[in-house]
Amino acid sequence: DQQVKQNSPSLSVQEGRISILNCDYTNSMFDYFLWYKKYPAEGPTFLISISSIKDKNEDGRFTVFLNKSAKHLSLHIVPSQPGDSAVYFCAASNSGYALNFGKGTSLLVTP
Amino acid sequence: DVKVTQSSRYLVKRTGEKVFLECVQDMDHENMFWYRQDPGLGLRLIYFSYDVKMKEKGDIPEGYSVSREKKERFSLILESASTNQTSMYLCASSSIRWQDSYEQYFGPGTRLTVT
């Protein structure tokens, strides 16, 4: 049973605009959330994270928002750049050990 | 910088062969993980280990086993490879220090094809 869901398999955005990637989860015990970015033929790389005690975390062009009541988080990329084109995975943890990953959203940023 | 290395980037094996995938990390991390990534299915956890000689099943352990004899090395074993085990295999490690305990560092992956 998928506990972390990314319902949009793909997203296309123009360069310079905002990219918004969404993630929903079902397990209310999750206390930490992460976003990973993955290029083809490479391992995922950590992008940004947020603890459940916060509702926003920002790092440069990347901001993650958490809405615990809706069990929803989103990743905002502003402004989007062609190099941001990749697959983005949302992940959640309730133990500090294993991460539960979503199926990923493929982002394409067009010039 | 954390470095997680995997023994092969690409591997082709025949059905029924025993396959070993090796992973080494150089950051003295306690936790190590094996995932497989398939199109439309995301990353699925096969096994993880939180200490030497300790292992826990993940979501899809069937057909796999693991070995962790040393802290820095975590091996995934396909006892008898089958075509449905054709996939990208990803190894990861993480620390148990509270402030670091959630972030996992991934290796480059091994693309395994079973024919």
Averaged pLDDT, B73-86: 97
Q: How far apart are CA B89 and CA B21, in angstroms?
A: 9
Using the predicted structure, report yes or no on whether residue A26 has a pLDDT greater than 70: yes
Lowest mean pLDDT, pick from A20-24, A40-44, A87-91, A106-110: A40-44
Inter-chain contact B109–A43, Cβ cutoff 8 Å? yes
Using the predicted structure, report yes or no on whether residue B98 has a pLDDT greater than 60: no
Q: What angle do CA A45, A48, A50 make, to 5 degrees?
A: 135
Inter-chain contact B90–A44, Cβ cutoff 8 Å? yes
DSSP-derived secondary structure letter, B85: G
* A42 touches A51 (CB < 8 A): no
Lowest mean pLDDT, pick from B1-5, B63-67, B71-75: B1-5
Averaged pLDDT, A48-61: 94
Q: How far apart are CA B11 and CA B13, in angstroms?
A: 7
Inter-chain contact B102–A32, Cβ cutoff 8 Å? yes
Q: How far apart are the first and last CA of chain A?
A: 38
Which residues of chain A have a CB within 8 Å of the CB of B92?
43
* B45 touches A98 (CB < 8 A): yes
- The pLDDT-based confidence of B95 (bands split at 50, 70, 90) is confident
* B43 touches A101 (CB < 8 A): yes
* A2 touches A96 (CB < 8 A): no
Higher pLDDT, A96 or A63: A63
- HSE-up of A72 (CA within 13 Å, CB side)? 8
Using the predicted structure, report yes or no on whether residue B75 has a pLDDT greater than 60: yes
Which residues of chain B have a CB within 8 Å of the CB of A89?
42-43
Inter-chain contact B90–A43, Cβ cutoff 8 Å? yes
Inter-chain contact A41–B109, Cβ cutoff 8 Å? yes
Inter-chain contact A43–B33, Cβ cutoff 8 Å? no
Nearest one of A89, A48, A67 to B102, comparing CA atoms:
A48
- The pLDDT-based confidence of B2 (bands split at 50, 70, 90) is low
Residue with tokens 């899809």: B60
DSSP-derived secondary structure letter, B49: E
Using the predicted structure, report yes or no on whether residue B100 has a pLDDT greater than 90: no
How close, in Å, is residue A44 to chain B by CA atoms? 6
How close, in Å, is residue A60 to chain B by CA atoms? 19
pLDDT at A86: 97
Averaged pLDDT, B88-113: 86
Using the predicted structure, report yes or no on whether residue B39 has a pLDDT greater than 90: no
Report the mean per-residue pLDDT for chain A.
Answer: 94
Q: How far apart are CA A93 and CA A100, in angstroms?
A: 6
Residue of B104, B110, B112, B113 to mutate when probing chain A, most A C-beta within 10 A? B104
Total number of residues shown for chain A: 111
pLDDT at A98: 80
**DSSP 3-state of A73:** strand
- The pLDDT-based confidence of A2 (bands split at 50, 70, 90) is confident
A56 phi, psi to nearest 5 deg = -155, 140
* A42 touches B108 (CB < 8 A): yes
Interface of A to B at Cβ within 8 Å reads 6, 9, 32, 34, 36, 41-46, 49, 89, 93, 96-99, 101-104
